[in-house]
């Protein structure tokens, strides 16, 4: 007996594997999936500009990485004694202009190099609404709690999103023909848009991604995170306390769907080994000085060595040293 309406996920044309260079951009949900991939020891560069929500801001961030130019003081503004960038999330902000620029530029050039090497790109759109500065029409990635009167709020037309991303993707593929792109729409509801506005926004994003996927079917896939949340998890018990963000259980459920459909069989097998090792790492012994526990630690170290030999990019050096120290 089915107690929900399962979302069918077509077999993807490409998968994610250990050894892939993966970059993720977008909303809080990109952070959720990116963190899962990082915890699973994939090679990940997550949101080099911080959390971004709308397609125009994500596209601008990618263009800045594609042709990096150092940010200067002219690119910052000061509000409440804090220096901010309209292109970045507030995690890059600082009370020091020099520190703010250092944070931004260090990540900019490091991630620019990673983009050239990336073979998997995950893009999560959160909203089709943008905020523009009234003084110059600039679309901002973050309003940084400035007065609302400084901005106009607009809904991006579907065709504007498509044309912007077509140009960007063609530029990326010209440099890196093997780059595969996975789009998602964030299941997080933007309630400031209003109930109807949120639906209009999500529909706009879905229509734009659909056009892009049809145009470049061999290079673009769509993962239905939004649909899974709306249909399979259609219950407020799967939401966090704010009733807008997915709960940790919902995030885990959607991650399972991603993992089962988008990780290669070889990577799933490696991930199972790593999860077994993590359980061993979290084990708290009753008698840490016993020979049995030392044997347990030795066996765990052997498993860690085997998994590291299988995958050159599998960096568990910190965990290995921590476990090894328990033998002393």
Distance in angstroms (rounded) separating the CA atoms of residues 13 and 1: 31
Q: Is pLDDT at 2 greater than 90 in this prediction? A: no
Dihedral, CA of residue 118, residue 119, residue 124 and residue 129, to nearest 10? 70
CA atoms within 13 A on the CB side of 289: 0
pLDDT score for 325? 85
Give which of 199, 234, 212, 182 is closest to 14, Cα–Cα: 182
pLDDT score for 3? 67
Which residues make Cβ contacts (< 8 Å) with residue 38, sequence separation at least 6?
Answer: 44, 46
In whole angstroms, what separates CA 325 from the centre of its chain?
Answer: 33
Q: Which stretch of 1-5, 128-132, 207-211, 270-274 has the lowest confidence by average pLDDT?
A: 1-5
Please state, rounded to an integer, the average pLDDT across all residues of the chain. 94
Q: Read off the pLDDT of each residue in 251-255 and give the average, rounded to a whole number.
A: 95
Number of other residues whose CB lies within 10 A of the CB of residue 243: 9
Residue 9 has φ and ψ, to the nearest 5°, of -115, 115
Which domains does the chain carry?
A: 21-263 (3.40.50.1110), 265-328 (no CATH)
Q: Give the whole-number percent of the chain exceeding pLDDT 90.
A: 80
Task: Please answer whether residues 170 and 220 qualify as being in contact, where contact means their C-beta atoms are separated by less than 8 angstroms.
Answer: no
pLDDT score for 288? 78
Sheet holding 151-155, edge to edge: 139-140, 129-133, 151-155
Distance in angstroms (rounded) separating the CA atoms of residues 219 and 204: 21
DSSP label at 138? P
How does strand 180-185 pair with strand 120-125? Answer: parallel
pLDDT digits (tens, 9 = 90+) for 83-122: 999 999 999 999 999 999 999 999 999 999 999 999 999 9
pLDDT digits (tens, 9 = 90+) for 146-157: 999 999 999 999
Q: Which stretch of 166-170, 187-191, 286-290 has the lowest confidence by average pLDDT?
A: 286-290
Highest mean pLDDT among 66-80, 228-242, 280-294, 304-318: 66-80
Band (pLDDT 50/70/90 cuts) for residue 291 is confident
DSSP label at 69? -
Task: Please answer whether residues 183 and 209 qualify as being in contact, where contact means their C-beta atoms are separated by less than 8 angstroms.
Answer: yes
């Amino acid at each position: 007996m089915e107690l929900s309406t399962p979302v069918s996920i077509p077999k993807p044309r490409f998968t994610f594997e250990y050894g892939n260079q993966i970059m993720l951009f977008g909303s809080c949900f990109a952070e959720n999936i990116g963190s899962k991939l990082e915890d699973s020891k994939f090679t990940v560069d997550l949101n080099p500009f911080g959390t971004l929500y709308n397609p125009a801001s994500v596209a601008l961030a990618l263009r800045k990485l594609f042709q990096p130019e150092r940010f200067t003081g002219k690119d910052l503004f000061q509000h409440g004694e804090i220096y901010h960038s309209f292109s970045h999330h507030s995690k890059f902000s600082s009370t020091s202009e020099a520190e703010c620029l250092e944070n931004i530029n260090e990540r900019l050039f490091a991630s620019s190099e990673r983009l050239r090497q990336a073979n998997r790109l995950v893009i999560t759109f959160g909203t089709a609404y943008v905020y523009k500065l009234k003084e110059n029409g600039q679309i901002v990635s973050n309003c940084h709690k400035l007065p609302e009167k400084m901005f106009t709020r607009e809904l991006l037309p579907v065709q504007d999103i498509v044309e912007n991303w077509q140009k960007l993707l063609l530029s990326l593929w010209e440099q890196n023909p093997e780059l595969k792109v996975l789009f998602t729409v964030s299941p997080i509801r933007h309630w400031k848009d209003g109930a109807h506005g949120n639906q209009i926004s999500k529909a706009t994003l879905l229509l734009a991604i659909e056009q892009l996927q049809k145009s470049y079917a061999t290079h673009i896939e769509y993962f239905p995170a939004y649909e899974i949340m709306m249909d399979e998890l259609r219950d407020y018990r799967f939401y966090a306390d704010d009733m807008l963000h997915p709960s940790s259980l919902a995030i885990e459920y959607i991650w399972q769907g991603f993992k089962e459909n988008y990780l290669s069989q070889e990577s799933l097998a490696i991930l199972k080994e790593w999860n077994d090792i993590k359980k061993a790492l979290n084990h708290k012994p009753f008698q840490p000085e016993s020979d049995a526990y030392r044997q347990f630690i030795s066996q765990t170290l052997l498993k860690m060595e085997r998994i590291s030999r299988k995958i050159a990019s599998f960096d568990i050096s910190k965990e290995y040293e921590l476990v090894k120290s328990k033998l002393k």
